[in-house]
Structure 1
């Protein structure tokens, strides 16, 4: 006989499991990094704490929204609440982008970024990821009336957020300069889970899933290109001065 937790897990949809699993993975990656003593929270700048709180709030909203979307019965009111809460993203997404940028610039000035990253690479990494995260969320909101597009794009935006989490789990000092590509392969592995779901549901890969895969690959390529572009290197050097 199945236990109550097992029964509840089976009752979750694929998309609910993806939202919960990715959120738990990201939170675990940051939590273990801090518990291992790699972050001095007592002397961390205020923007780091604000950024962390915004990230946790966003993952909480994502998980809540996925659970509410599953309660779409006529008497549950879950979908209506899901739509009302969805407008919180109009405030949260720009706030997260601004905080990510502010944290990056502060870290550059205080030389708090990983020593195996160049200033140009770190500047590109944070801003490119923030931009593509916001892009996918905006695309998802614009497609909120098409649930097949909306949920794939929202999960895709969370796959983008996996990169900084992977940076805290993978042995980055040992795999430089391949760390960027290792992270990309892992993220694309998660996209393949959606591809498998698409093929079961539609018999082919959904266009939204292909868009997510392209964004994941493009984000890593742009980061690598910017990191070796002279004008970007000069910009990062000035910011780190």
Structure 2
């Protein structure tokens, strides 16, 4: 019993620390363009916010707040409140996906892309993350009665938000090398979950395997479509 209790406490600490690490990474990246506008600046363009980008930032921030709250509610053994808030959290998570899509589409004519590639090709970065996030959110909802699977899908859904924030850190130059490095580091946020699985159950949980595949698609499929040169033709026929 003592060992089981210690494992539960360690699990709560793990998810709490992961939630904080994700929030910090995103906050630092979006500090000059959203959270601390006119208070902090990085040596790169900082375009003005539109209604859509403001909505995108607010909804994504709302999800981060709910995700951290849900982790803390479980740690406080308030699973009743966790379940009630979870319905609203899923609704907010569902809103993140179409808003992210529309924000990415509207960024193309505004030219919001680094100088390493054209705007249409760069849109593969956010747009290819959308189906991955949709799958993770759906799997999280579908497995809501399986706590171990549910929490893994929700964690990796939130990890998908790290890459846009981490890519805006001033330590990563607006070059292809800088983009690749920041993208790899964002994907590396799943490594603690892999290590946790191996420590606690001796192998990867099935949900971790599925979630890692979705995250890998969202992070690395862009390089395939860039190499094939097909993305501009694809994005031109997408709605929005």
Whether 2:39 is the aligned partner of 1:39: answer no
**Alpha-carbon RMSD:** 2.6
- Counterpart in 2 of 1:211? 210
**Matches of 2:11 and 2:210, distance apart in 1:** 29
Unaligned residue ranges in structure 1 (runs of 5+)? 1-9, 73-77
Deviation above 6 Å: which 4+ runs of structure 1? none
**Matches of 1:196 and 1:106, distance apart in 2:** 39
- Counterpart in 2 of 1:154? 154
- Counterpart in 2 of 1:127? 127
- Counterpart in 2 of 1:4? none
**Matches of 1:228 and 1:120, distance apart in 2:** 14
Deviation at 1:85, TM superposition (A): 1.0
**Matches of 1:14 and 1:54, distance apart in 2:** 25
Contact 1:153 1:208 in 2 (8 A): yes
1:88 counterpart SS class: helix
Deviation at 1:190, TM superposition (A): 2.2
Unaligned residue ranges in structure 2 (runs of 5+)? 1-9
| Range that drifts further, 55-64 or 204-213 | 204-213
**Matches of 1:133 and 1:185, distance apart in 2:** 18
Contact 1:128 1:223 in 2 (8 A): yes
Deviation at 1:11, TM superposition (A): 11
Aligned counterpart for 1:64 among listed residues 62, 69, 72: 69
Match runs of 1:1-241 below 5 Å: 13-32=13-32, 35-36=40-41, 38-41=45-48, 44-72=49-77, 78-169=78-169, 170-174=171-175, 176=176, 179-180=179-180, 182-236=181-235
Deviation at 1:228, TM superposition (A): 4.2
**TM-aligned CA distance change 1:21 to 1:183, over 3 Å:** same
Deviation at 1:177, TM superposition (A): 5.1
**Matches of 2:12 and 2:183, distance apart in 1:** 28
Aligned length: 222
* TM-score (normalizing by structure 2): 0.81
